[in-house]
Structure 1
Amino acid sequence: MAGEPQPSGAPTKGGWITFPFLIATMAGLTIAAGGWTNNIIVYLINEFNIKRIDAAQIANIVNGCTALFPILGAILADSFFGSFTIISVSSLISLAGILLINLTAILDTLKPAPCENGLTVCMAPSKTQLAILYTSLALSSMGLAGTRFTLATMGADQFDNPKHQGVFFNWHFFTMYAGTLVSVVGIVYVEDNVGWGLGYGLCVAANLIGLAIFVVGKRYYRLMKPQSSPFTGLACVIVAAFRKRKVFLSSKSEDYWQETHAGGTKFVKTTPTNSFKFLNHAAIITHGDTTSDGFIKKPWNLCTLQQVEDFKTLIRIFPLWSTGILLCTPLAMQMSLVVLQALAMDRHLGPTFQISAGTMMVFVMLSTSISLAIIDRFLLPTFEKLTGTSPTPLQRIGVGHALNILSMAISAIVESKRLATARSHNLHGNTVVPMSVFWMVPQLVVVGVGEAFHFPGNVSLYYQEFPKSLKSTAAAMVAMFIGIAFYLGTAIVDFLRKTTGWLPNGINDGRMDNVYWVLTVIALINFGYYLICSWLYEYQNVEKNELSSSSPCPC
């Protein structure tokens, strides 16, 4: 994107003066989002009488939306409306959604009657109550998705110096982690121990403050003009190649349409690569494709050679990208299952204080944050001293795969012990088992260390390898496979519920340990697939321009 032209003598916009506005906006929106997303399973179970596995499934769908929709937000911001408009509108949408969730917590008519202790059958929510609940979740999810990555892009647009952009990214992701920790530790505690109305009310206030700060800072922002979507050019390659499928390919560079610049066409002595030769038809020049002054007459009949090669790059990297889906699927399922396990375990810290089930993921965040610092300040420098080179993105992702497998295996072992304890005490349903919830900390710590390796590695890989026209979309592509992973995890849970007895509503009567073993096998097979893909893959860009290791994209 190019910056909007500034009138002569106009003050320069952008720079560090925008930093406090954008970071404060990120903090407010993150605290608001973390307050409702991290405890949504408990809310659905306790306030809407939704069965536990069903609540986990709903949470997976919500998380999938928040991870998948940033792609749509990035395309709309880059191609049509600009980042400022998308962030403002998305913040309003999330505010409306969280406000509606808050109303369901405050007004008794918007939720079913409370389920009394000892009852095996509780009153289910009505269709109207479910419709309002699902509307609130949809609005909140779409609003969150429209701001999370668009804010990062807009922040980077305020700086011309790549080092300053890197510093902003570091603070952006630090703020995202810090805001999530505040919401998980503070707001979730309020929801569980004081009241859902007050907890969600704090989320509304945080969202409103973040939006207000963002709008106030508008006069300082450097706003960028939206450009045509690069995805249009990629679609053109498919259409043009199909239309010209019967045209004979040439070995001469002048027979192919090259990059255009102001003033006409610049022919470079290059010819298309031989891989995926069918796509080369899209760039070959035929009669009637161009005007007399050297411009394309029919855009969907002719593409530049660079567009063809960009499309080939995406095809080459797709197998590696697909491994990220099954890398995140076990993690996505674990996020929900851990909450269900925590509800059926001893959560006391001391004689009186009891931690919230939704706060268990704080151990992942702390582990990731600490690991990032250790990797950046100790492991990477040590690796470079010993080998003389920096670890490649593929190597870092590979370590993450291995740690993912280890985490799922530990999860299976811990759940086996929890079930054995339940049976030894003859406990059924969702009765709390006399086993500390902190038994699950090791598996969550391993997950966090793995994220510190594979998420920055994935972001670095796609930012380095994606075509220049798609650089701003590279990070969102990581979010995209995270979103797909949540939906795939939902499908796997549905399949296991229908074909096995492992996931009943009362988890003490099931075999959740077998679910974790299945995830371990899936992760192991996917790791083998990843090793094959990474072995066959050849880096397209030899530059070692990697993003800072402090810039993960957390599941």
Structure 2
Amino acid sequence: MAEAKESNNSPGDTESQVSDSRSKKGGTMTGVLLSGYGWLTNIIVYLVEEFNIESIDASQISNVLHGCMNMIPIIGAFIADSYLGINVVSAICNFISLLGLIMLTLTAKLGSLRPPPCETGSNLCQAPSKQQMAILYVSLTMASVGFGGTRYALATVGANQLDKPKDKDTFFNWFFFIWYSVWMISSTALVYVEDSISWGLGYGISFAANFVAVVIFFAGYKIYRHDKPQGSPFTALIRVVVAAVRKRGLILSSKTDDYYQEHDGTDHHVMPATPNRSFRFLNRAALKTEGDINSDGSVARPWKLCSLQQVEDLKNLIRIFPIWSSAIFLTIPMVIQQTITVIQALAMDRHLGSKFKIPAASIIVVTLISSSIFVALFDRFLFPTWQRWTGRPLTLLQRIGIAHVVNVICMAISALVESKRLKIAHAHNLDDQAQHSAIVPMTVWWLFPQLVVVGIGEAFQFPGQTALYYQEFPVSLRSTATAMVSLVVGIAFYVSTALVDLMRNVTGWLPKNINRGRLDNVYWVFVVLGSLNFIYFLVCAKFYKYQNIEKEVDDYASR
């Protein structure tokens, strides 16, 4: 953990400043999420209605934005850990997002920056010019880069203000509570403003929220704790592999003095006197040979000798990688619910009363509400109750394991509901149309249980994953650790898209009229894949041992 910035204040003043920085982080996080989801949630409708872009093309643009946005945090984390520090990267991304929203708001306010609207009753619409599309793409790129780079950076910056692992666990729970709550507001209130009042006003509100977030961030910048980048941590990890290969012929020693044990001063792990026996081949990288060390104690050949700490850091990453890989299929139900459930809702009765009709895309708000509520309930009631009853805290791996089970249950519920919907559609002969899905006389409320369950799964999954990676990754990769969750979402988005596309091409389950298809079979496939992935996770978790000694001590003390 990086230390607080030096000052002449008393310890009490320093504690007050750290507390104040936490509240500023909450304000920054709320503003960033409100501004980001304010434009992203409704971007397809904006492209179709204001830029006369065909719906399929608009969907592809949205897919690219979502996928890339979840990949960008890894790049930002690498820059933060290697060169600039997470606070600087967060500041830069905030500023980029602000510029992108300024341009996006101008496209909504200035008629010259978008094509004329389609004539009433006509299917012929003027396409946007190259200049208009260039400005649009630049604004979307900047807004997505800024939003993607800021979301998970704030998780690291906020956790860096805390000292105890138990407090960090709580922070990540409330980080995602704010995340889901703000996403819910953006998906309802801001979408309504954009659709019913003015796109310019809706995007203007997003810009204002981002501006307030930037102001709050810089207001507390001086009192935040700052991590000092130590150069590229990935280079040090590669050096371990190279050094181990170059020394592959050496015999490992059991003597402490035979290993290079220099520390970088930033680690809080209690290092063993000799390397751990796991992945023994890598231990040779820390084995000292003649000519490896200069007379002053510095390393003479860094690509042939690494510190024991660097060796153990690489081992930690190797150990946790299987756990991380299992999270890809764990995240797929969330992505599926954002796409296929909307298609189901379009073919169901969405009326509430005689006048109000739920927009199909707004059905996802149920998941956001569920996630927000259950994150708070778990943090305040379930986890403390479990610890009182069992005398042990619910570990991070146990929380992720529960998420696996919940998401399999969610897919099973989805399959059963779709099976019932298809029976009703067949009973009313609604599967005759070749192109469009007729409305089935079945209320959209039937979709709510699966959306609530997937929200429960997310409440277990994302806070647990983020806390696990943050605590178990090497200290030099803390920013990368929190960004790994975003990478999981990005990969899951593309994998689920590929799987659905594969099933559409090799089966007849997903025609244009889903009343003629077998969407329930698609859900059952994901039930099987999710169950197999859960077994894989159990095997990985069985052999995984927590490496963060500070975390283990804290868990023991809390019993």
TM-score by length of 1: 0.85
In the TM superposition, what is the alpha-carbon distance from 1:304 to its structure 2 partner?
A: 0.8
CA offsets per residue over residues 74-97 of structure 1, 9 Å max, x none?
232233223333222212222333
Asked whether the equivalents of residues 424 and 441 of structure 2 are also in contact (C-alpha less than 8 Å), the reply is yes
Query: Whole-Å Cα distance in 2 between the matches of residues 182 and 476 of structure 1?
Result: 24
Which SS does the other structure have where 1:435 is aligned? strand
Q: In structure 2, give the amino acid aligned to 1:334.
A: Q
1:483 maps to 2:487 = no
Asked whether the equivalents of residues 156 and 168 of structure 1 are also in contact (C-alpha less than 8 Å), the reply is yes
In terms of mean alpha carbon deviation, does 240-249 or 538-547 score higher? 538-547
1:272 maps to 2:275 = yes
In terms of mean alpha carbon deviation, does 5-14 or 354-363 score higher? 5-14
Which SS does the other structure have where 1:274 is aligned? coil
Which SS does the other structure have where 1:303 is aligned? coil
Q: In structure 2, give the amino acid aligned to 1:95.
A: L
Mind listing any 5+ residue stretches in structure 1 that lack a counterpart?
548-555
Q: In structure 2, give the amino acid aligned to 1:532.
A: V
1:521 maps to 2:554 = no
Equivalences for residues 304-343 of structure 1 within 5 A: 304-343=307-346
In the TM superposition, what is the alpha-carbon distance from 1:247 to its structure 2 partner?
A: 3.7
Equivalences for residues 142-541 of structure 1 within 5 A: 142-159=145-162, 169=172, 171-260=174-263, 270-422=273-425, 424=428, 425=430, 426=432, 428-505=435-512, 507-508=514-515, 510-541=517-548
Match of 1:552 in 2: none
Query: Relative to 1, partners in 2 of residues 1:358 and 1:35: Cα closer, same or farther, differing over 3 Å?
Result: farther
Query: Relative to 1, partners in 2 of residues 1:497 and 1:475: Cα closer, same or farther, differing over 3 Å?
Result: same
Query: Whole-Å Cα distance in 1 between the matches of residues 159 and 120 of structure 2?
Result: 52
Query: Whole-Å Cα distance in 1 between the matches of residues 369 and 209 of structure 2?
Result: 22
In terms of mean alpha carbon deviation, does 226-235 or 480-489 score higher? 226-235
Which SS does the other structure have where 1:399 is aligned? helix
Q: In structure 2, give the amino acid aligned to 1:393.
A: L
In terms of mean alpha carbon deviation, does 318-327 or 271-280 score higher? 271-280
In the TM superposition, what is the alpha-carbon distance from 1:241 to its structure 2 partner?
A: 1.8
1:110 to 111, 114, 122: 114
Match of 2:6 in 1: 6
CA offsets per residue over residues 509-536 of structure 1, 9 Å max, x none?
5443333222222212211212222233
Equivalences for residues 72-151 of structure 1 within 5 A: 72-106=75-109, 107=111, 110=114, 114=118, 133-151=136-154
Q: In structure 2, give the amino acid aligned to 1:411.
A: S
In the TM superposition, what is the alpha-carbon distance from 1:314 to its structure 2 partner?
A: 1.6
Q: Percent identity?
A: 50
Query: Whole-Å Cα distance in 2 between the matches of residues 521 and 527 of structure 1?
Result: 10
Query: Whole-Å Cα distance in 2 between the matches of residues 416 and 503 of structure 1?
Result: 14
Query: Whole-Å Cα distance in 2 between the matches of residues 199 and 368 of structure 1?
Result: 25
In the TM superposition, what is the alpha-carbon distance from 1:132 to its structure 2 partner?
A: 5.0
Query: Whole-Å Cα distance in 1 between the matches of residues 515 and 45 of structure 2?
Result: 18
The number of residues matched between the two structures is: 542
Q: In structure 2, give the amino acid aligned to 1:537.
A: Y
Query: Relative to 1, partners in 2 of residues 1:449 and 1:491: Cα closer, same or farther, differing over 3 Å?
Result: same
Query: Relative to 1, partners in 2 of residues 1:133 and 1:418: Cα closer, same or farther, differing over 3 Å?
Result: farther
Query: Whole-Å Cα distance in 1 between the matches of residues 484 and 287 of structure 2?
Result: 30
In terms of mean alpha carbon deviation, does 18-27 or 418-427 score higher? 418-427
In the TM superposition, what is the alpha-carbon distance from 1:54 to its structure 2 partner?
A: 6.1
Which SS does the other structure have where 1:15 is aligned? helix
Which SS does the other structure have where 1:85 is aligned? helix
Query: Relative to 1, partners in 2 of residues 1:321 and 1:52: Cα closer, same or farther, differing over 3 Å?
Result: same
Asked whether the equivalents of residues 291 and 297 of structure 1 are also in contact (C-alpha less than 8 Å), the reply is yes
Match of 1:550 in 2: none
In terms of mean alpha carbon deviation, does 4-13 or 236-245 score higher? 4-13
Which SS does the other structure have where 2:253 is aligned? coil
Q: In structure 1, give the amino acid aligned to 2:114.
A: L
TM-score by length of 2: 0.84
Asked whether the equivalents of residues 5 and 225 of structure 2 are also in contact (C-alpha less than 8 Å), the reply is no
- Superposed CA RMSD: 3.5
